[in-house]
Each structure stands twice: as structure tokens, then as C-alpha cells.
Amino acid sequence: MRLALINRTGGLEFLEDHIRAACPGARLEYWPSEAAREAEVAICWDPPDGTLADMPNLRLVHSIGAGVDRILADPTLPDVPVCRIRDDDLAVAMGEYCHWATLWFHRGLDPVPRNAAAGHWHRFEQRPASQVPVCVLGLGDTGRHVACRLRDAGYPVRGWSRSPHDIPGVVCHAGPEALPLALADAQVLICLLPLTPDTTGILGHATLSALPPGAGVVLCSRGEHLDRAALVTLLRSGHLRGAVLDVFPQEPLPADDPLWREPGVLVTPHMSALAKPRRIVVQIAENLRRLDRGAPLLNRVDRARGY
């Protein structure tokens, strides 16, 4: 079987040895090349629009990540299955990051680096976790794990999803009309939604201003969820306390982007949860075997739903 590694900006070489080991009979090609165009399987992060439509033998598009938004955004995407990665380790890593980011706000760590740079000894009043409600948007692989971890750490947790969920100890809300209920008392808002037409820009003025004064925002899903002008306005007005941002519409975030220096904003480099190359390739290899024998594929995305 011929496989093509496709990403707008390249950089997928880190998967090569793992693919060669896991799929010994496969031929591996890199986009852009005529040989890649002939491949039956596209292994992608961010394929340029039209690339997949220009592959006459294409039978499967496999994301190398949990998200498939860059793939589904291509209006010419051919009618073939699209699969994603699912990984318990990824959810655990996301749990660690979101727990840390919650503590960043809850324990008043956010002004500490600024104060330390000025040699300023300033202690803050501390609250127990039980007085810091957290809202998690998205209760899928990562969101559910984050919600349970924060619940177990003593935070009152509210969750929000498209369909109803029942998670012991977490107050779950579903659907657009229930979003204000989920946000109403949240001191920390964590976004773990997939990027779809319904969720693009969801962290806009209406959502962010529905948070109580002094809330912090944690964004680990996609940069396009956030209306950054609304965020900056609400930070500067003092309504929001700060934001921990791990994802951006353009990555890497350019060095001269003002967000790096916006008071209250902490930028991290899309590092909240990174799947290990071996874990990615094991799942792709299993789907190649299934494709070969016509068996149902694992972790197939619902293209109409967008995730």
C-alpha cells in the first residue's frame, strides 16, 4: 500500500521510522511529489486545500492528531473515510496541563512572575478548591478526563457538550441554550471543543462576558475558538483575570505577535498534550490492516458533525 505524508509546512519526518517499522510492506511518500499523489492513504495534519482531491487512488485520510478540523475545512475533500487519533495518554497529559492552568489562577500564581521580576514580595489571599468553580467546554476524550481530574481535586466542575452526559460529581449541561448556566459561576473556563462551524469563535464577547468578574480562560483546543479582540478588551477592562493560551490560528505564533506581551496572557506552544509518534503510528497501522480486509475503521470521524 502506498502512503503519503502530507502537511502544508512539512515536518512529518518524525513519523517515518515508526511507519516503516509498523507497516513494513508500505511505500512511504512525502507530499508534494507525483508519487505521493498516487497514494491510497493520506496521513495528514494540515493538508493544503485541493491536495486530497488530486489523489485519484485515495481510500483513507488519517489525521495524526485528535483534531480533524484542518482536514474537514477543505471544501474539495473527497468522499473517503477520515479517522483521528484517540489516546489515553493524551487525555492524561491534558489533565495535567489543565490542572496546572487551573492552579495558576486559583492559587494566584499568575502575577507572581511579574512581581518576582520586580523583586516584589506580595502574598495573596488563598481560597480552597471548593470555592473555585471550573467550567469545561467539551466532554469528549480530553474534556471528560479533565473534568474528572478537577472534580477529584476538589473543584466544583460544570461541563458542557452537544449531547447530554452523566458524569458523577460533575454538573453537566448540553446544548447552546444551556451554555450560560455552565458559565455562570465559573472562575476558570477551559475550552476542549473540536473546531466546527458551530464552535468557531465561541469564546467571543458574549461567552467571555458571561463569566463572573475575575475569571481566567484556558484554551487548549484551537485558536479559532477565541475572538482575541474580545479577550483583550475584557482583560484590559479587568473583567477577566487572565488567559492561558496553548493554541493559535497561526502556529507557531509569530515572535512579534502582541499576545506574547499582553498583560495577563500566558502563551504556551501547543504543548498541552502531545501524542507520542509510536502511539500515533500504531493506530494508523491498525486502520491500514482494517482497510486492507474491509473491516470497520477505528476512530472514524462523523464528517457531517465535524468531529
Under the criterion CB under 6 A, does residue 246 sit at the interface with ligand NDP? yes
Between residues 46 and 262, which has the closer beta carbon with respect to ligand OXD?
A: 46
**Is 293 designated active site?**
no
- Minimum gap (Å) between residue 197 Cβ and ligand NDP: 9
Separation between Cα atoms, residue 110 and residue 266, nearest integer Å: 9
- Determine, following the binding rule CB under 6 A, whether residue 194 of this chain makes contact with ligand NDP: yes
Position closest to ligand OXD via CB: 65
Residue pair 7/45 in contact (Cβ under 8 Å)? The answer is yes
**ω into 252 cis (within 30 of 0):** yes
Would you count residue 28 as binding ligand OXD (CB under 6 A)?
no
HSE on the CB side for 241, CA within 13 Å?
22
Q: Tell me if 47 contacts ligand OXD by CB under 6 A.
A: no
66 near ligand OXD (CB under 6 A): yes
Q: Looking at 2, 107, 205, 270, which residue is catalytic?
A: 270
What string marks each residue from 260 to 279 as x (binds ligand OXD by CB under 6 A) or -? ---------------x----
**Identity (one letter) of the amino acid at 112?**
V
**Count of residues near ligand OXD by CB under 6 A:** 4
**158 noted as active-site residue:** no
Nearer to ligand NDP, 194 or 264 (CB): 194
CA atoms within 13 A of residue 110's CA, in its CB half-sphere: 24
Q: Is 139 in the site for ligand NDP (CB under 6 A)?
A: yes
Find the part of the chain contacting ligand NDP (CB under 6 A) among 38-46, 104-112, 268-276, 285-293.
268-276
Taking 3-state DSSP, the helix, strand and coil percentages for the chain, each rounded to the nearest 5, stand at 35, 20, 50
Q: Is 90 in the site for ligand NDP (CB under 6 A)?
A: yes
What cell numbers appear for 40 in the block?
491510497
Q: What angle do CA 271, 275, 280 make, to 5 degrees?
A: 150
- State in angstroms the smallest separation of the CB of 177 from ligand NDP: 11
193 binds ligand NDP (CB under 6 A): yes
What's the rounded Cα separation, in Å, for the pair 151 and 134? 9
* Cell numbers given for 298: 477505528
196 binds ligand NDP (CB under 6 A): yes
78-81: long-range contacts at Cβ-Cβ below 8 A with a sequence spacing of 24 or more?
78/52, 78/53, 81/297, 81/300
**Are 219 and 244 contacting, i.e. CB atoms less than 8 angstroms apart?**
yes
Contact by Cβ (8 Å): 28, 20: yes
Catalytic residue among 62, 222, 225, 241: 222
SS3 state at 140: coil
Q: Based on CB atoms, which residue is closest to ligand NDP, 55 or 65? A: 65
Which residues carry out catalysis? 222, 270
For ligand OXD, the binding residues (CB under 6 A) are 65-67, 275
For ligand NDP, the binding residues (CB under 6 A) are 66-67, 90, 138-143, 160-163, 192-196, 198-199, 220-222, 246-247, 270, 272-273, 307
